[in-house]
Amino acid sequence: MSSTTTAPGALATDLPLGEKVQLLTGAATWTLRAIPELGLRTMTVSDGPIGVRGTGDDGEPSAQLPAPSATAATWDLDLQARLGTLMAAEARRKGVDVVLAPVVNLQRSPVGGRHFECFSEDPLLTARLAVAFISAIQEQGIAACVKHFVGNETETDRTEYLSRIDEQTLREVYLAPFEAVVDAGVWTIMAAYNGLTREGVDATATAHGPLLNGVLKGEWGFDGIVMSDWLATKTVVEPALGGLDLVMPGPGGPWADGLLSAVEDGRVPESVIDEKVARILLLAERVGALSGVAGETVPYDPSGATEHPTDDDVVALLREAAARSTVVLRNAGPLLPIEPADAATRGRIALIGHNAVEPFTQGGGSAFVTPPHVSEPLAALREAFPDAEVTLHRGGATTLGAPLAPTELLTTPDGEPGIRIDHLDAAGAVIASEQVPDAASLWFPIDDDAVASVRLSTVLALAAPGRHTIELGPVGAHRITVDGVLRAESDARVGVEVVLNSSYANPASVETHVDVEAPRAVHVEADLQVIDGESYGRFVRLHFRYRAPSRSIDEELDDAVAAASVADLAVVVVGTNSETESEGWDRPNLDLPGRQNELVRRVAAANPRTVVVVNAGAPVLLPWLEEVPAVLWWWLPGQEAGGSLAAVLTGAIEPSGRLPWTLPADHRDVPVPNGLPVDNIIDYVEGVHVGHRAWDRLGRTPAREFGYGLGYTEWEYRGLELADEASGAEAVLATARVTLANTGARDGREVVQVYLSAAGDTGRPVRWLAGFAVADVATGSTTTVDIPLARRSFETWSTDAATWTLPTGTYRVAVGRSSRDLRLETALAVGG
């Protein structure tokens, strides 16, 4: 790569003002502007954090990782780094420079829609995992974009509400992960949709000068770019002066329309623009997008990147990650693991549950990717237990909506496979026609501005006698007919707001029932508005779902119980689905969808060897937890779902996960039951007592506490001492040296957790996480791990002094297997 002596900052001032301003708005939905004469190529961004989708133009699948709430359960920084390296390799394969990940907002309420996209309810665990992930990505010359800055823990009315967080809580809890990743050198940060009310000042996240300019860029020294969330920026001057650097997406938008004139008439100094441009050029230099410029940062050479792993390596890593994430919540007997040679597995294994038939591998929204394959539980268990007869039984549907209309049942009115799309002008005349192959394709762009609406026409074959259900979910103004009969009509037009609030992903359905005695076909027609998505472009969206006559849930439940009663082992997979966990909306409750609790209890009553596997990214209530022999929390496991489950059941990989959040036993006990805005304000009234801290403060008993996980062996904590005690001036005040022994019959992995408490200080949490380490120990062996206790873990934020302070006194240092299973403790005197 060629170089000159011109640094990005100097180069920024040499550009014409018009080009500077243009550089501060995206070129398109996923790209930044290029300046060829400067040697600046286009930079591409892509959604994460479950995979790298790319721009969607290449049609290539993406490696689908377990959800972040799953990988967080490993508490394993090395594994997190390996996943970051894979993400970087995927980004380079897809021509992506910036991965919009990770999310470091906290899981303040268990019903938050993007709970599965976040790491933890704990700021320290979140920060440590995020740093490992980001560092690995950026070592490969790919930028990470941490989101969403800040106080973005709720999806309901997410573009409108203000988060009210007191200064101490903001610093100690919600800003803490952001501060950690800035210290680690993150290159980009995304501002949140929501605003913040702080010190009596209300502001949007994209225009909060005291935070962006004062704290982030000033106090912390962040030298990267702050980009907006998509279409979050509404005004010109306030965001420009408030610290925002890049408006996404483009083209168009408030800065494209008005920033140049704001500079020319003096409302925004040109020096402010120069600083933003310099930051963007520095990012370009870091990712190798700026040739011919050499500053203090050496441009990244793509030839030095780690080679993309083989498909087999990707499968092995993702299977390991999903298996290691799995948390053993209960294991009476112990029933698990089950050796494939066990006599009991040479007979029958009944695999049961809607989520066993269709595993929920990823949550909905911007994290969604299309994987190269999904390892199915049935095939994986048949391979893992070759001497057993493995049968599959759904046990009743758990989704409210019907599945997508099957491709093989759809033909156009002309008899061709699929659905005909007529493009209509404002007078209703057909301009052009096309065909789409299936119901999954009913979200498509409209490039011709003359197209005012579209008409979808298809013939649906109804083969079986009985009641057929057709569900059409239109987005925007529509007119729907079935066999010429008007079923729904609306002239209520929608715009880009359906993208921002994600309602396009979950529209209300128009349901039609057709009773059939003999096979016949019905003609389905829908006239739909073209939605102006602004920078997202013009598009049309329709959900087309269909359910054929089928057995009742009662019949399916009876069949599943009957299969379990004659099986040697029953494996019941329960969980959430795409209707419950997604960006764009929060869950109304913590209940498992459908009649899954009934299914579990009936199967467990029929078979004393029952394993329940929970396929969910966020907490759900498990009222039968103490009634079944074995329970595994399997998360949203990604593309290697089945393979990871088989590895866990057989013990090929130990499920060594520990809960990164608290599992409630009763929804009435949840400290923050919903976190929803009231009068457009979300009040963080619990202060620093978030997650497990609140459970401890309120004295409530969860189903399983933060940090809980049994694994497949037994542990004995034999010693705790504090080494390297310091006067308090250093970054690390002490190191907890913990000796532990694997006293079980299997090699195992332990997550050693260190908690602090300060006696008599009622303003602080009852206890708080201060450090952790993962230890692999052979059966019968002993090991010692050192866990540094950072000075910051002891400090509190003084609002009056506007600085961190170190309270003197004696601190209790406790170590153990979870926040409430503390095996050893000692005292540490600080200051005085």
Please, what is the average pLDDT of the chain?
93
| 6/84: higher pLDDT | 84
pLDDT band at 203; cut points 50, 70, 90: confident
Within 466-610, residue ranges assigned H as helices are 497-500, 553-565, 596-606
Half-sphere exposure of 156 (CA within 13 A, CB side): 15
Residue 299 is predicted with a pLDDT of 41
Whether residue 196 is predicted with pLDDT greater than 90 in this model: the reply is: yes
Is domain 407-547 given the CATH code 3.20.20.80 in the classification? no
What's the 3-state SS for 604-664? HHHCCCEEEEEECCCCCCCCCCCCCCEEEECCCCCCCHHHHHHHHHHCCCCCCCCCCCCEC
Domain residues of the chain, as ranges? 311-398+564-577+594-698, 407-547, 715-830
Residue 1 is predicted with a pLDDT of 30
Q: Which residues touch 50 (CB under 8 Å, ≥6 apart)?
A: 64, 65, 66, 67, 68, 117, 362, 363, 367, 368, 369, 638
Whether residue 171 is predicted with pLDDT greater than 60 in this model: the reply is: yes
Whether residue 750 is predicted with pLDDT greater than 70 in this model: the reply is: yes
Contact indicator for 280, 32 with CB cutoff of 8 Å: yes
Whether residue 43 is predicted with pLDDT greater than 70 in this model: the reply is: yes
Contact indicator for 618, 587 with CB cutoff of 8 Å: yes
Q: What is the pLDDT of residues 442-491, one digit of tens each?
A: 988 999 999 999 999 999 999 999 999 999 999 999 999 999 999 999 99
pLDDT band at 618; cut points 50, 70, 90: very high
Q: What is the pLDDT of residues 792-809, one digit of tens each?
A: 999 999 999 999 999 999
Distances (CA, A) of 385 to 423, 476, 656: 54, 50, 22
Measured distance CA(581)–CA(506) in Å, rounded: 12
Across the range 309-329, mean pLDDT stands at: 97
DSSP codes, 692-722: HHHHHHHT---SB-TT---TTS-EEEEEEEE
Across the range 330-348, mean pLDDT stands at: 86
Whether residue 521 is predicted with pLDDT greater than 90 in this model: the reply is: yes
Residue 832 is predicted with a pLDDT of 61
Contact indicator for 13, 274 with CB cutoff of 8 Å: yes
Place of tokens 């409209």: 446
Across the range 314-339, mean pLDDT stands at: 97
Across the range 717-731, mean pLDDT stands at: 78
Place of tokens 């599945």: 403
Residue 528 is predicted with a pLDDT of 97
Interhelix angle 641-650/311-325, nearest 10 degrees = 60
Contact indicator for 684, 106 with CB cutoff of 8 Å: no
Q: What is the pLDDT of residues 110-133, one digit of tens each?
A: 999 999 999 999 999 999 999 999
Whether residue 91 is predicted with pLDDT greater than 70 in this model: the reply is: yes
Across the range 516-541, mean pLDDT stands at: 93
- 436 has which bridge partners? 419
Measured distance CA(24)–CA(463) in Å, rounded: 56
Within 171-228, residue ranges assigned H as helices are 176-183, 209
Q: Which residues touch 627 (CB under 8 Å, ≥6 apart)?
A: 601, 604
Give the pTM: 0.95
Q: Among candidates 194, 119, 190, 183, which has minimal Cα distance to 154?
A: 194
What does the block give as tokens for 780? 């019968």
Across the range 718-738, mean pLDDT stands at: 83
Whether residue 726 is predicted with pLDDT greater than 60 in this model: the reply is: no
Residue 504 is predicted with a pLDDT of 83
Instruction: Return the H-helix or E-strand segment holding 773.
Output: strand 768-777
What does the block give as tokens for 831? 């200051």
Half-sphere exposure of 326 (CA within 13 A, CB side): 36
Instruction: To the nearest 10°, report the CA torsion of 153, 157, 161, 166.
Output: -20
Measured distance CA(455)–CA(451) in Å, rounded: 11
**Is 265 among the residues known to form the active site?**
no
Whether residue 657 is predicted with pLDDT greater than 70 in this model: the reply is: yes
pLDDT band at 204; cut points 50, 70, 90: confident
Contact indicator for 143, 188 with CB cutoff of 8 Å: yes
| 27/496: higher pLDDT | 27
- 432 has which bridge partners? 423
DSSP codes, 381-428: HHHH-TTSEEEEE--S---SSPPBPPGGGEE-TTS-BSEEEEEE-TTS
Interhelix angle 553-565/596-606, nearest 10 degrees = 30
Domain 407-547 and domain 715-830, same fold? Reply is no
Choice among 47, 97, 229, 245 that is catalytic: 229
Look up the CATH number of domain 715-830: 2.60.40.10
- How far does the chain reach from its first CA to its final CA, in angstroms? 56
Residue 762 is predicted with a pLDDT of 75
Residue 650 is predicted with a pLDDT of 97
Phi, psi of 355 (to 5 degrees): -75, -10
Whether residue 295 is predicted with pLDDT greater than 80 in this model: the reply is: no
Residue 296 is predicted with a pLDDT of 34
| 430/535: higher pLDDT | 430
Residue 120 is predicted with a pLDDT of 98
Distances (CA, A) of 602 to 168, 593, 599, 831: 49, 17, 5, 59
Residue 725 is predicted with a pLDDT of 60
Residue 344 is predicted with a pLDDT of 62
Across the range 678-684, mean pLDDT stands at: 96
Residue 729 is predicted with a pLDDT of 53
Q: Which residues touch 797 (CB under 8 Å, ≥6 apart)?
A: 167, 168, 171, 172, 803, 804, 805
Burial class (CB in 10 A: 0-12, 13-18, 19+), 191: buried
Task: Classify domain 311-398+564-577+594-698 at the CATH class level.
Answer: alpha beta
Residue 142 is predicted with a pLDDT of 98
Residue 4 is predicted with a pLDDT of 40
Handedness of CA 416, 418, 422, 423 (dihedral sign): negative
pLDDT band at 343; cut points 50, 70, 90: low
